[in-house]
């Protein structure tokens, strides 16, 4: 530290700060966070740094660089990745840590590559690559001989990952689709078809000093083995490090979801010197099961464990759930099913693919995690797939999924590429798998580990072997490397560390161009979008589990305003192009819009129409998948969210603003839906229900014609069973006079006066609709329960978008259809006051009237 004033100031701050970090008495392991007093040394300056953090966010904070997401800044900021920054911190060790038998320095995540020095001693010298070479690993060093009772200096020297990739690639026996393969670093940092290139570096997770003696708890797991009648057979696993052979006492306490202690257990356990894994069987009477969203409550138990040796102790507390979960892949008439069975009940999966919420993941706040997971829950989802090109998520993500009943399909971080198979790389992957499995395995939400994203598909279908000029021997060797990672190392680590879930080597199981993909395994159906096939193909191409399919749309206008200047706001402008990463993105949006919608001239209208188009196409897919629930196990659309403001497949943009699709998904993921179709002059209405029990209901169907006259099509009582049922067939001849392109059908399913499901349906494609110029009436209600917007429309409306100028209007529903005379009350979620004169609207009616 060069500045003496700063130095004495820090000394004054550090000691009381340390005392507040150390909550346990001295006989317990002591943890001292090294989260303050960090500086980042650039070639000629020293700036304050944040840990956890990264070089980009530190430079933003120091006002050295502008917002990397603004306009075309991405291009001009590529130099940041080549900075080779040095992070430094000086600290004093709490005296009690210095008294412990064991003293270690633990890095929960360093992004990558970096050499670490403590008081000038190189910690990383003997590692493979002589550095920290995997951002997904936890690194721990014995520092007992290195800590100083006075001031200590820790410095982390980062170096350019891309340069290292090129060096490794140059001497490799084959070329890979992308040389990022050589670095164990979040693949999407190197750019994606929805993401910019920011190959960042930094200390992205906490750093701590740990001092302990005799014993330390280093891992935990909780597994439900069986649920029978009124009890659950479970097993608690405690992993303990011991400095010697010794006896220990373990005390367990289990607290049920209503906060009552239901079980206490004390056992004596002989410990070996080193690592111990202790399995403790626990029978829990009248278990309150963990259910996913829509199937029941996500009940959580609290487990407290304490361990005492001769003169030292350790303890932990965590929340978990009682549930069994199985991925069935049972041979059947057409191939094999792909179905998740939770607590013995087959559950139709409804959800989306999740990507990191930011390019600089350290700046995603707790509130952002909470908001996003709640948005997923409120959209009636029961699963998120943590996609393999991002990161293994932070604890908060899995905790929130546990609490909100969202199952997690967890990919290992390998995507759309080939990877090396030398022993050093395999060992690196093995440790990465071990660290992450052990970190998250106890979460009841964890449903499946999956080896990779689209590598098997790429190998067989994307022509890599030819385009990269592989010989037969090359191909054999590359494929053996693939087998080693995805069929050996990863499944071995899963069974070794008791992940408690199934393992699926690659998603999808088979490429979408192959017939088998429809009959077994999971499917990424990209014939729509990549293959430019019409949306109707979704109806034919429903596989056994739809783990990806999607279509792009522009983000909210407010988001576009946030990253651009007025002169950027036209299609294909340089500013907009930076925020469209798919090479054919604009062309495909236009092709599909031409097929099904009219193409507006105005940029604002185009943004609106792109969102309506996305909601229309993906809505068609979801209905098709749900109608096929007897053979299809679930549907996860691509993609829930964005990592920056961009034109992409997401339903929520970077700021969490909802596209039309997100509202559509919420309607279509309800437990019961009533899809309709108009084929061969016949209206067919289905009831698709995920509800565990059958129920009685009343269905009413009305058609409103071009003159807003209504024709009652059905009004009958029925029993709705779990599954997909055709409930009405109404031929055109029974309806009377109406114009197909100017009518709307409205169906409502009720149970004892309560609305269960409703649906608005148009008989023609949006582009053919000839609807009146709408004149909806709006009203604002502010009362103690909140602020509300009322809407009433005298005319039929397709896709009413209600918005404000220069402000995102956050409504409980939007981009919806209305039949003539319909009234709706929407909740306004904005904090700002919204008044009637601020309300603007758009609709397909208006787009179609433009000429």
Residue 637: CB minimum distance to ligand BMA, A: 11
- Tell the smallest beta-carbon distance from residue 648 to ligand BMA (Å): 8
- Stretch touching ligand BMA by CB under 6 A, among 189-197, 305-313, 674-682, 800-808: 189-197
Closest separation in Å from C-beta 22 to ligand BMA: 44
Torsion angle of C-alpha atoms 733, 735, 738, 743, degrees rounded to 10: -130
Give the helix/strand (H/E) hosting 818: strand 816-818
Binding mask 538-567 for ligand BMA (x = CB under 6 A): ----------x-------------------
| 611 CB neighbour count, 10 Å cutoff | 27
Closest to ligand BMA by CB, 592 vs 803, is 592
From candidates 454, 484, 493, 628, binder to ligand BMA by CB under 6 A: 454
CB of 532 to ligand BMA, least distance (A): 13
Q: How are the residues of the chain apportioned to helix, strand and coil, as percentages rounded to the nearest 5?
A: 25, 35, 40
The minimum distance between CB 354 and ligand BMA, in angstroms, equals 12
- CA 733, 734, 736 angle in degrees (round to 5)? 80
- Outline where 564-659 has alpha helix (H): 574-578, 585-596, 603-627
According to CB under 6 A, which one of 38, 192, 369, 637 is a site residue for ligand BMA? 192
Question: What is the footprint of ligand BMA within residues 493-522 (CB under 6 A)?
Answer: none
* Closer to ligand BMA by Cβ: residue 151 or 193: 193
Record the tokens describing residue 772, joined without a space. 């009146």
Span interacting with ligand BMA, options 41-49, 166-174, 187-195, 687-695, rule CB under 6 A: 187-195
CB contact set of 337 (below 8 Å; sequence gap of 6+): 328, 329, 330, 544, 631, 633
Distance (Å, rounded) from C-alpha 664 to C-alpha 799? 10
Residue closer to ligand BMA by CB (options 506, 671) is: 506
Number of residues that bind ligand BMA (CB under 6 A): 10
Complete DSSP assignment for 373-394: HHHHHHTT--EEEE-TTS-PPP
Kindly tell me which residue out of 69, 107, 117, 194 binds ligand BMA, with binding defined by CB under 6 A. 194
Estimate to the nearest angstrom the gap between the alpha carbon of 73 and the chain centroid: 26
Classify strands 676-679 and 682-689 as parallel, antiparallel or unpaired: antiparallel
Which of 454, 493, 548, 795 is catalytic? The answer is 454
Stretch binding ligand BMA (CB under 6 A), from 86-94, 188-196, 219-227, 321-329: 188-196
Structural element, H or E, at residue 634: strand 634-637
The answer to whether 326 and 341 are in contact (CB under 8 A) is yes
Measured CA to CA, the distance from residue 522 to residue 453 in angstroms comes to 12
CB of 581 to ligand BMA, least distance (A): 9
Nearer Cβ to ligand BMA (109/511): 511
Q: Closer to ligand BMA at the Cβ: 454 or 623? A: 454
Q: CB-wise, 621 or 727, nearer to ligand BMA?
A: 621
Residue 453 C-beta: closest distance to ligand BMA, Å: 5
Shortest spacing between CB 640 and ligand BMA, in angstroms = 12
Q: Which of 506, 497, 489 is nearest to 409 (CA)?
A: 506
State the Cα–Cα distance between residues 668 and 815, nearest whole angstrom. 14
Q: How far apart are CA 443 and CA 223, in angstroms?
A: 9
Quote the CA–CA distance of 498 and 193 in Å, as a whole number: 35
Nearer to ligand BMA, 450 or 818 (CB): 450
Nearer to ligand BMA among residue 117 and residue 459 (C-beta): 459
Pull the structure tokens for residue 122: 């190189």
Q: Does 481 bind ligand BMA (CB under 6 A)?
A: no
In 3D space, the residue among 176, 712, 218, 695 whose CA is nearest the CA of residue 479 turns out to be 176
Choices 79-87, 186-194, 277-285, 789-797 (CB under 6 A): range interacting with ligand BMA: 186-194
Residue 266 to residues 229, 248, 313, Cα–Cα distance (Å): 26, 10, 14
Cα 323 from Cα 347, distance rounded (Å): 13
Stretch that binds ligand BMA, among 48-56, 192-200, 266-274, 487-495 (CB under 6 A): 192-200
- State which of positions 392-451 bind ligand BMA (CB under 6 A): 416
Among 638, 746, 762, 808, binds ligand BMA (CB under 6 A): 638
Segment 112-151, which members bind ligand BMA (CB under 6 A)?
Answer: none
Q: Which of residues 583-612 bind ligand BMA (CB under 6 A)?
A: none
124-132, 140-148, 191-199, 594-602 -> range binding ligand BMA (CB under 6 A)? 191-199
Shortest approach of ligand BMA to residue 193 CB, angstroms? Answer: 5
CB of 530 to ligand BMA, least distance (A): 7
Among 193, 233, 269, 810, binds ligand BMA (CB under 6 A): 193
Q: How far is the CB of 533 from ligand BMA (least distance, A)?
A: 15
Three-state DSSP class for residue 275: strand
**Of residues 349 and 455, the one with the C-beta less far from ligand BMA:** 455
Stretch that binds ligand BMA, among 73-81, 140-148, 168-176, 190-198 (CB under 6 A): 190-198
Residue 158 or residue 512: which is nearer to ligand BMA going by CB?
Answer: 512
Whether residue 317 lies in the annotated active site:
no
DSSP 60-94: HHTTSS--TTSTTHHHHTGGGGG---EEEEEEE--
Among 88, 453, 664, 724, binds ligand BMA (CB under 6 A): 453
Candidates 524, 626, 663, 801: give the one binding ligand BMA (CB under 6 A): 524
Least distance (Å) from ligand BMA to the CB of residue 183? 18
CB 462, min distance to ligand BMA, A: 11
Instruction: Name the E strands within 243-378.
Output: 246-255, 261-271, 274-285, 301-308, 313-320, 325-328, 339-342, 345-347, 349-354
CA distance 810 to 834: 10
Burial of 142 (0-12, 13-18, 19+ CB in 10 A): exposed
Angle value at C-alpha 77, between 75 and 78, nearest 5 degrees = 75
- Report the b/e string of 196-217 with b at 16+ CB within 10 A: bbbbbbbbbbebbbbbbbbbbb
Q: Which is nearer to ligand BMA, 165 or 454 (CB)?
A: 454
Q: Judging by DSSP bridges, how do beta strands 246-255 and 261-271 pair with one another?
A: antiparallel
665 phi and psi, to 5 degrees?
-60, -45
**What secondary structure letter does DSSP report for 487?**
I
- Choose between 194 and 392: whose C-beta lies nearer to ligand BMA: 194
CB neighbour class for 160 (10 Å; exposed up to 12, middle 13-18, buried from 19): middle
User: Which residue lies nearer to ligand BMA by CB, 241 or 457?
Assistant: 457
Report the alpha-carbon distance of residue 62 to residue 677 in Å, rounded: 58
Q: Name which of residues 734 to 763 contact ligand BMA (CB under 6 A).
A: none
Residues noted as catalytic:
454
Residues that bind ligand BMA (CB under 6 A): 192-194, 416, 453-454, 524, 548, 638, 649
């Amino acid at each position: 530290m060069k500045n003496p004033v700063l130095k004495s100031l820090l000394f004054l701050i550090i000691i009381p700060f340390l005392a507040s970090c150390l909550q346990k008495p001295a006989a317990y392991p002591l943890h001292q966070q090294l989260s303050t007093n960090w500086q980042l040394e650039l070639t000629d300056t020293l700036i304050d740094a944040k840990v956890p953090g990264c070089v980009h966010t530190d430079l933003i904070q120091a006002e050295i660089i502008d917002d990397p997401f603004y306009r075309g800044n991405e291009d001009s900021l590529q130099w940041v990745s080549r900075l080779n920054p040095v992070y430094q911190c000086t600290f004093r060790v709490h005296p009690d840590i210095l008294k412990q038998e064991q003293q270690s320095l633990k890095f929960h995540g360093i992004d990558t590559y970096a050499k670490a020095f403590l008081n000038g001693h190189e910690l990383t010298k003997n590692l493979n690559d002589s550095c920290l070479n995997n951002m997904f690993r936890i690194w721990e060093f014995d520092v007992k001989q290195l800590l100083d009772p006075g001031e200590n200096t820790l410095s982390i020297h980062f170096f350019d990952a891309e340069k290292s990739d090129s060096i490794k690639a140059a001497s490799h026996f084959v070329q890979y689709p992308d040389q990022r393969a050589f670095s164990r670093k979040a693949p999407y940092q190197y750019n994606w078809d929805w993401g910019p290139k920011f190959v960042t570096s930094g200390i992205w997770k906490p750093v701590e000093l740990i001092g302990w003696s005799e014993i330390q708890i280093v891992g935990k797991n909780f597994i439900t083995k069986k649920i029978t009648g009124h009890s659950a057979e479970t097993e608690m696993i405690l992993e303990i490090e011991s400095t010697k052979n010794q006896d220990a006492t373990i005390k367990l306490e289990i607290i049920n979801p209503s906060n009552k202690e239901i079980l206490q257990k004390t056992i004596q356990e002989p410990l070996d010197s080193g690592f111990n894994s202790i399995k403790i069987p626990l029978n829990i009477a009248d278990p309150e099961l963990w259910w996913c969203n829509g199937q029941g409550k996500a009940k959580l138990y609290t487990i407290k464990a304490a361990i005492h040796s001769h003169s030292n102790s350790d303890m932990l507390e965590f929340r978990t759930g009682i549930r069994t979960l199985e991925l069935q892949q049972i041979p059947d008439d057409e191939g094999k099913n792909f179905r998740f069975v939770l607590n013995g009940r087959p559950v139709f999966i409804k959800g989306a693919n999740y990507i990191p919420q930011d390019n600089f993941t350290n700046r995603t706040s707790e509130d952002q995690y909470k908001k996003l997971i709640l948005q997923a829950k409120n959209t009636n989802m029961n699963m998120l797939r943590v996609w393999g090109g991002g990161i293994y998520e932070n604890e908060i993500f899995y905790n929130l999924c546990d609490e909100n009943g969202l199952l997690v399909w967890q990919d290992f971080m390998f995507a759309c590429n080939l990877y090396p198979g030398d022993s050093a790389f395999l060992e690196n992957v093995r440790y990465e798998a071990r660290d992450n499995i052990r970190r998250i395995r106890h979460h009841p939400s964890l449903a499946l580990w999956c080896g990779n994203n689209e590598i098997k598909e790429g190998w067989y279908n994307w022509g890599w072997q030819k385009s990269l000029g592989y010989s037969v021997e090359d191909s054999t060797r590359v494929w053996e490397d693939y087998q080693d990672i995805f069929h050996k190392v990863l499944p071995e680590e899963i069974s070794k560390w008791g992940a408690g879930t199934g393992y699926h080597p690659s998603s999808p199981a088979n490429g979408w161009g192959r017939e088998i993909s429809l009959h077994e395994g999971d499917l990424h159906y990209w014939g729509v979008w990549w293959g430019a096939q019409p949306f109707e193909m979704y109806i034919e191409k429903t596989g056994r589990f739809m783990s990806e399919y999607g279509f792009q749309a522009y983000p909210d206008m407010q988001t576009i305003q946030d990253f651009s200047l007025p002169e950027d706001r036209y299609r294909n402008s340089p500013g907009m192009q930076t925020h469209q990463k798919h090479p054919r993105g604009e062309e495909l949006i236009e092709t599909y819009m031409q097929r099904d919608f009219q193409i507006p001239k105005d940029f604002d209208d185009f943004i609106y129409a792109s969102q309506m188009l996305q909601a229309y196409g993906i809505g068609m897919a979801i209905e098709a998948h749900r109608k096929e629930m007897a053979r299809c196990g679930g549907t996860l659309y691509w993609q829930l969210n964005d990592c920056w403001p961009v034109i992409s497949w997401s339903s929520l943009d970077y700021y969490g603003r909802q596209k039309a699709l997100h509202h559509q998904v919420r309607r279509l993921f309800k437990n019961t839906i009533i899809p309709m179709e108009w084929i061969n002059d016949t209206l067919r209405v289905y009831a698709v229900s995920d509800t565990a029990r059958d129920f009685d209901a009343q269905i009413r169907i009305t058609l409103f014609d071009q003159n807003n006259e209504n024709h009652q099509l059905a009004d009958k009582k029925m029993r709705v069973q779990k599954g997909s049922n055709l409930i009405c067939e109404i031929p055109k001849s029974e309806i009377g006079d109406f114009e197909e392109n100017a009518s709307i059908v409205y169906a409502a399913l009720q149970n004892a006066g309560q609305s269960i499901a409703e649906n608005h349906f148009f008989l023609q494609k949006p582009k053919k609709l000839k609807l009146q110029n709408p004149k909806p009436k709006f009203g604002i209600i502010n009362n103690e329960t909140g602020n509300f917007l009322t809407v009433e429309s005298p005319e039929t409306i397709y896709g009413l978008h209600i918005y404000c100028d220069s402000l995102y209007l956050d409504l409980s529903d939007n981009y919806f259809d209305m039949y003539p005379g319909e009234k709706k009350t929407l909740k306004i979620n904005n904090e700002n006051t919204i008044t009637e004169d601020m309300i603007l609207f758009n609709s397909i009616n208006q787009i179609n009237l433009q000429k």
